[in-house]
Structure 1
């Protein structure tokens, strides 16, 4: 017999303004404890020293995590020119230096090469798997790996500040799977001056914005207090990028049991992935098939 999970059946999204010095997993565990939730997860890992939006899903909202993970995200980050590190950030050891400091015009010209569909090699110290083991574990053991390049969509990459010759502040909007540290490393290489990330903040992710995020101090102060529930956003927010169809009362049970059922749709084409609602609440995600929906993921709330 499967062990019953302890905790509350609570569902929704919590936008956390993650502090530096914590892993994303540690933040999720803190949120799960504070809400006494049965289940929790997050949409998109942030490096321990990074700050900003960490969208944490509770309960049934964890079923919408892939749609937030796939959404566009934006970062503001500072690159230190003149130094490359083995981790591609300030936590690592300097492995190369340069006295060259490109001017703003040269930097802007180089940034153009990182916009659109690009191929990106993850940092040596990253969570990608190599022969079944995390790359960062192999890197800590001194192994130098030839990591495969991965595709990344970069919507925009802008120079937003130049506080001094050694530092540039950039803002990037991109799709899933991107490494800001790789952008800094590769930009430094393209400019011939080396580079690494010194600060990184995710300012928004899909529908979630850092300025609306809760800080962990507030979470800890109100832990186990029902008032904390007021900070939750409905799980439906995680479905914002999918077309919505509406189902009749008699369709709800069918869809939740995994069976096709009639839905009312407008502006949706045959084969589109959609989500079905009843009285504004999510019932299921599935495929629209001309007046009916075939569910692939159902919500029990």
Structure 2
């Protein structure tokens, strides 16, 4: 006799997950979704299986607002081994070039500083970027090299946390979306004349969230089912950087059905707002202010129940 189907629950909220090593972002997402029996879930930016650390998971209505984390700056702590170049840019690839490491700590710090600001990166072949509908890593595994255009990314901060004086360093990087830390490590190594690859990568921040506040899958699973909801952050935390507007009950109902409603007098034209029901403080969604003072719905939550 087959087991009964697991009931999917309308869970809404944001879970800060500490993704484990050697698990894909989707694998970690599906495990978290199973632990919560959530009907709908999505993550906010892929981490390689090699990488660990902060992976915000959005459940239910939070998936409507996940793009704001996809576009956010990210922070990483990376372990870099100099003197070896691998096929993948990380520890999982084969070593194809070996060169002596001749720089000292001062030279390394000076080189890292040179990478701060806007730089151009060529995306690695071992990445999920698509070419003709297929991810680049599939071509790479077949030995096919696809020409990639360089693109600009921003390195806001880079700091040398440690250097063993031989060939291994730990660096901290704060960067814009779309930055490949593997490529950054390779480029630094090439500029130093010895090459480099990643042996460890941990995401520490994204969009104001911190790794210190994240939870492992094991810790979540160890909790009773009813206690797990206490780990979830509210949906509106994803858009807390926007100013707010409040609506009376009837306008709130109309707004959640996609209708424009009159905003407050201080509603700046074309400014984006997070919108709440005034009496209950229920989060309703996002709106843009039009020239005639109306709040035009952009993303809305499920319409609140009427009394």
**What does residue 248 of structure 1 align with?**
248
Alpha-carbon shift at residue 151 of structure 1 (Å): 2.1
For this pair of structures, how many residues does the alignment match?
295
Contact 1:153 1:174 in 2 (8 A): yes
- Structure 2 residue ranges without an equivalent (≥5): 1-5
**What does residue 235 of structure 2 align with?**
235
In the alignment, structure 1 residue 143 sits paired with structure 2 residue 144: yes
**What does residue 58 of structure 2 align with?**
57
Contact 1:81 1:101 in 2 (8 A): no
Contact 1:82 1:101 in 2 (8 A): no
Alpha-carbon shift at residue 286 of structure 1 (Å): 2.3
Q: Distance in 1 between matches of 2:11 and 2:79?
A: 38
Q: Distance in 2 between matches of 1:17 and 1:265?
A: 43
Q: TM-score, normalised by structure 2?
A: 0.91
Q: 1:212-234 CA distances to partner (integer Å, 9 max, x unpaired)?
A: 111111222337x1211111000
Q: Distance in 2 between matches of 1:139 and 1:189?
A: 21
**What does residue 292 of structure 1 align with?**
294
**What does residue 3 of structure 2 align with?**
none
**What does residue 274 of structure 2 align with?**
275
Q: Distance in 1 between matches of 2:106 and 2:221?
A: 46
Secondary structure at the counterpart of residue 171 of structure 1: strand
Q: Which stretches of structure 1, 4 residues or longer, exceed 4 Å deviation after superposition?
A: none
Q: TM-score, normalised by structure 1?
A: 0.93
Alpha-carbon shift at residue 185 of structure 1 (Å): 0.8
Q: Distance in 2 between matches of 1:195 and 1:32?
A: 37
Q: Distance in 2 between matches of 1:175 and 1:269?
A: 28
In the alignment, structure 1 residue 157 sits paired with structure 2 residue 161: no
Contact 1:248 1:263 in 2 (8 A): no
**What does residue 87 of structure 1 align with?**
88
Q: Distance in 1 between matches of 2:21 and 2:34?
A: 20
- Structure 1 residue ranges without an equivalent (≥5): none
Alignment of 1:159-238 (within 5 A): 159-222=160-223, 225-238=225-238
Alpha-carbon shift at residue 145 of structure 1 (Å): 2.2
Q: Distance in 1 between matches of 2:103 and 2:282?
A: 53
Contact 1:18 1:27 in 2 (8 A): yes
Alpha-carbon shift at residue 263 of structure 1 (Å): 2.6
Q: Distance in 1 between matches of 2:140 and 2:70?
A: 26
